[in-house]
Structure 1
Amino acid sequence: MSIDWDRRHCARKGHITYAPDEPRLKEKLHAPTAVGTAWRCLRCGDFVLGEPHGSGPADRAPLVPRGRALRDLFILRFLAVERVLRGLLVILAAWAVWRFSNSQDSVRELFDKDLTVFRPVARHFGYDLDHSPVVDTIQKTFDYKKSTLQKAAAGLGAYALIEVVEGVGLWFGKRWAEYLAVVATAAFLPIEIYELTEKISYFKIGTLALNVVAVLYILIGKRLFGLRGGHAAFEAERRGESLMEVEEAAGEHLGRGGADTAAGGAPGGPGKEPLPVRQRAADQL
């Protein structure tokens, strides 16, 4: 069952109507009813009773995302949430490393003290803390220079900032954020692949798969770096899907054909009878 992204979005955010100055186009986008004038929503195409939200030349009408554009925006926002959450977790890690660098000696003393207390208990259960890989790893961090830890914290902070900025940009559908997402994600793919060669886990596999799919989807679907016609083709596709552009193109085609079959029919476009259109508008009361 396919999702009607237009009506789904209108149900959550409300309709958007517009009254163009051009008579032919204006006739297609409004319908007089017994209970008032109804205007066609630029997103879902339904007629909505009441005054339009705006008016003016057709080329000044708001470019309302609809159809595939809405689906793409939903996917981008899913990726945006994932990026922001990841950025927040990395910020916490950067803060922890920075705090550790400023209190390295006290943390070492506390760790050694606790290790001395738990060593007999661990030995009782047959676990040798002195040769534990986890304990060895923690003890090695105590030997790191303070400057090294501070550089690591700065690196983590920069990475977190990139993730948060990328997430905010993707949420608002900014094209620069799509480029940033592709470049930043692709740059870390070799590291994720290397980590899988060291130790395989379902979490690492899932993260790698998500990032690969995200890169391919944004790269190809958004026509980045000149792919599939580049930015010009992307803008033409986006504008070609808008209701205003569709109705304008239909009007020009009918005008060239010498007969506008919708002139005596419904304002909603060719092939629609006036009664069902007006009935649908009245049903919205």
Structure 2
Amino acid sequence: MAIDWDRRHCARKGHITYVPDEQHLRRNLHADTALGPVWRCLRCGDFALGEPHGSGPADQAPVVPRGRALRDLFILRFLAIERILRGVLIVLAAWAVWKFSNSQDAMRKLFDDDLTAFKPVADHFHYDLDHSPVVDSIQKAFDYKKSTLHMVAAALLGYALIEIVEGFGLWWAKRWAEYLTVVATAAFLPLEVYELTEKVSYFKIGTLALNVLAVLYILLGKRLFGLRGGAAAFEAERRSASLLEVEVSAGEPPATAPEPLPVRKRPAADSV
């Protein structure tokens, strides 16, 4: 079942109505009912009761996202949430690295004490802690210089800020955020591919697939870097998405206006 993005959005956010100065268009977008004047919504095409939201020349009508544009906005906001959550997690990782760099000796002693206490349990389950790659990686981390860990924390924080800025920009559908997302995501794709050559996991495969699809979707769908006509074609597509612009360019009559509602007469009051 296809989703009616126009009516779905109007049900959540309300209708957008506009009164053009051109009389023939104004007649097509207006009707009188028993409840008062109604104006045709520029997004879903339904007639809405009440005063219009704006007026002026037809070529200055608001560009109202419709159909595919609303679907694109939904996808962009899904990507925005993913970017913001990832950025928050990386901020926490940067804080953990910075915290670790300032207490390496204490954490090394705590880890060694816990490792010694856990050794009998590991031996019972035939797990060799002395040759464990996880334990070996943690012990190597204790030997890193404090300045190196500070650089790692700063790099993680910078990456997190990029992700968070991307997320908020995508949420508001800013074109600069789309460029930033494509460039930043594409730059890390080789690293993600390299990580898969080291160790394959469903999480890494899913992350790589999501990032590749995001790059292709934004790159082609938003016509970045001059693809498919570039920014000019993208803006023209947005303008043509307005119901008012469609009527002006196509010259087709709009949908039939609703019939006036019948006025119900009140019963006469009983005589005393």
Instruction: Decide: shared fold, TM above 0.5.
Output: yes
Does the aligned pair in 2 maintain the 1:17–1:41 contact within 8 Å? yes
Task: Verify the 8 A CA contact 1:80 1:170 in the aligned structure 2.
Answer: yes
Residue 265 of structure 1 corresponds to which residue in structure 2?
A: none
After superposition, the C-alpha distances for 1:80-113 in whole angstroms (9 at most, x for unaligned) are 1111111111111011000000111110111111
* 188-197 or 116-125, larger mean C-alpha shift: 116-125
Q: Which residues of structure 1 form unaligned runs of 5+?
A: 255-261, 263-268
TM-score (norm 1): 0.88
What is the identity percentage for the equivalent residue pairs of Structure 1 and Structure 2? 76
1:1-285 equivalent positions in 2, closer than 5 A: 1-251=1-251, 269=254, 272-273=255-256, 277-279=257-259, 282=261
1:254-282 Cα shifts (integer Å, max 9, x gaps):
7xxxxxxx5xxxxxx2xx54xxx223x75
| Aligned residue identity for 2:118 | F
Please state whether the residue corresponding to 2:37 is helix, strand or coil.
strand
The residue matched to 2:258 in structure 1 has which SS? helix
The Cα RMSD (Å) is: 1.6
CA distance in 2, matches of 1:137, 1:117: 19
CA contact (8 A) 2:63 2:241 kept: no
Inter-partner Cα distance in structure 1 for 2:121 and 2:228: 65
| Contact persistence 2:64–2:241 (CA under 8 A) | no
Does the CA-based 8 Å contact 1:28-1:247 persist in structure 2?
no
Q: Which amino acid aligns with 1:118?
A: F
Gaps of 5+ in 2: 263-272
Deviations 1:48-99 (A, max 9, x none): 1111111222233221100111111111111111111111111110110000
Aligned amino acid, residue 235 of structure 2: E
Q: Distance in 1 between matches of 2:170 and 2:58?
A: 28
Q: Does the CA-based 8 Å contact 2:65-2:242 persist in structure 1? A: yes
* Paired residues of 1:22 and 1:58 also in contact (CA < 8 A): yes
Distance in 2, matches of 1:177 and 1:20, equals 33
Give the paired residue count: 262
User: Distance between the aligned counterparts of 1:127 and 1:243, measured in 2?
Assistant: 68
The verdict on how the C-alpha distance between 1:238 and 1:109 changes in structure 2, with shifts beyond 3 A counting, is same
What secondary structure, in the 3-state scheme, does the structure 1 residue paired with 2:63 have?
A: coil
CA distance in 1, matches of 2:143, 2:178: 41
3-state SS of the aligned residue for 1:12? helix
- CA distance in structure 1 between the aligned counterparts of 2:50 and 2:122, rounded to whole angstroms: 76
Question: In structure 2, what is the Cα distance between the partners aligned to 1:200 and 1:125?
Answer: 26
The SS at the match of 1:43 is coil
The equivalent residue for 2:266 is none
Amino acid at match of 1:52: P
Q: In the TM superposition, what whole-angstrom CA distance separates every residue of 1:108-131 from its partner, at most 9, and x where no partner exists?
A: 111111122222332233222222
| Partners of 2:10 and 2:160 in 1: CA distance | 34
Amino acid at match of 1:208: L
Deviation by residue 1:203-228 (Cα, 9 ceiling, x = unmatched): 11111111111111110111100001
Separation in 1, partners of 2:212, 2:182: 10
Alpha-carbon distance in 1 for matches of 2:121, 2:47 = 75
Quick one: distance in 2 between partners of 1:121 and 1:69?
A: 58
SS of the residue corresponding to residue 109 of structure 2 reads helix
- In structure 2, how many angstroms separate the alpha carbons of the residues matched to 1:58 and 1:132? 71
Q: Which amino acid aligns with 2:216?
A: L
Secondary structure, counterpart of 2:43 in structure 1:
coil
Cα distance between partner residues in 2 of 1:21 and 1:136: 75
